[in-house]
Amino acid sequence: MSAAAAVLTDDQIERFVTEGFVHLPEAFPRELADECRAFLWRETGLDPEDPATWTQPVVRLDGYGDAPFRQAAGTPRLHAAFDQLVGPGRWLPRTGLGTFPIRFPHPQDPGDAGWHVDGSYTPPGEQGYWLNLRSRDRALLMLFLFSDVDADSAPTRIKVGSHLDVPPFLEPHGERGVNLFELCGAMDEVGKLDSPDRPQALATGRAGDVYLCHPFLIHGAQSHHGTVPRFLAQPPLLSTAPLDLDRADGAHSPVERAVRLGLRA
């Protein structure tokens, strides 16, 4: 890759390996975020000007392939960062964006704010979402901000460095992997899901920012204590092949290096 195409510094990449995420400001144009947010408001059927219509703490919308979403997901800045973190040719361009958990100021608990990792596939004959050590089908977890998000407006909570705790729990399950609820339960039993050793960061920022996260990063939603509803998409970056944790040439991607580091810990 040419130096001009690189958007992340070496320091940011090393922090991605040890902390599990990188905040990419202005990953897509703010005007696109505004256009997408207006579209999403229409899809909710709620009135942006009338909080009386915001009767739920969270509304989830599935996903959209319309032009503004495709453009937001496919900027050269994002693609360059994918190359740096995952490796050229090892990820699939997104054809749209989803899912969208939209969070509203509301007294009720949203009921979906527990710590977890995201799963990425369902083995034949099984149910729900699973994950394995080679992160089948998922190169990254991504948080696309479609509204300005401050500490009060339900930023996603991130357990800094928690992606390093996950590989030892996945390794015994081999290629088949494990259901994400089973994994989270096993980690919770030994205090590794909400580990006191892992500080919390908040995915705050401006509409158009994206957080690029390791697929094993432990994260969670929270209640909205502000005034302006929060619009977020949290799609996976799909991979062309499972992680290769034993490359003969040693050219492991930062995502792979983090898994290797977690196994050594």
Ligand X SMILES: O=C(O)CCC(=O)C(=O)O
Q: Which is nearer to ligand X, 192 or 230 (CB)?
A: 230
CA distance to 22, 43, 80, 117, per residue, from 142 (Å):
10, 22, 15, 12
DSSP designation for 116: B
Q: Which H/E stretch holds residue 256?
A: helix 254-264
Residue 46 contacts ligand X per CB under 6 A: no
Q: Which of 72, 221, 233, 258 binds ligand X (CB under 6 A)?
A: 221
CB of 76 to ligand X, least distance (A): 27
Q: Which is nearer to ligand X, 8 or 213 (CB)?
A: 213
Site for ligand X in 114-133 (CB under 6 A): 118
Residue 232 contacts ligand X per CB under 6 A: yes
Please tell me the distance from the alpha carbon of residue 73 to that of residue 142, in angstroms, as a whole number.
Answer: 10
> Is omega for the bond preceding 53 within 30 degrees of 0, making it cis?
no
Residue 93 CA to its chain's centroid (Å)? 16
Q: How many residues bind ligand X (CB under 6 A)?
A: 8
Please tell me the distance from the alpha carbon of residue 23 to that of residue 210, in angstroms, as a whole number.
Answer: 6
Residue 158 contacts ligand X per CB under 6 A: no
Residue 193 contacts ligand X per CB under 6 A: no
Q: Which is nearer to ligand X, 111 or 124 (CB)?
A: 111
Backbone angles phi, psi at 136, to 5 degrees: -50, 130
Q: Which of 23, 163, 219, 252 binds ligand X (CB under 6 A)?
A: 219
Residue 234 contacts ligand X per CB under 6 A: yes
CB of 100 to ligand X, least distance (A): 9
Residue 101 contacts ligand X per CB under 6 A: yes
| Contact residues for 173 (Cβ-Cβ < 8 A; gap 6+) | 132, 133
CA distance to 58, 66, 251, per residue, from 156 (Å):
13, 25, 32
CB of 45 to ligand X, least distance (A): 20
Q: Which of 44, 135, 156, 179 binds ligand X (CB under 6 A)?
A: 156
Taking residue 167's Cβ as centre, other Cβ atoms within 10 Å add up to 20
Residue 208 contacts ligand X per CB under 6 A: no
Binding site for ligand X (CB under 6 A): 101, 112, 118, 156, 219, 221, 232, 234
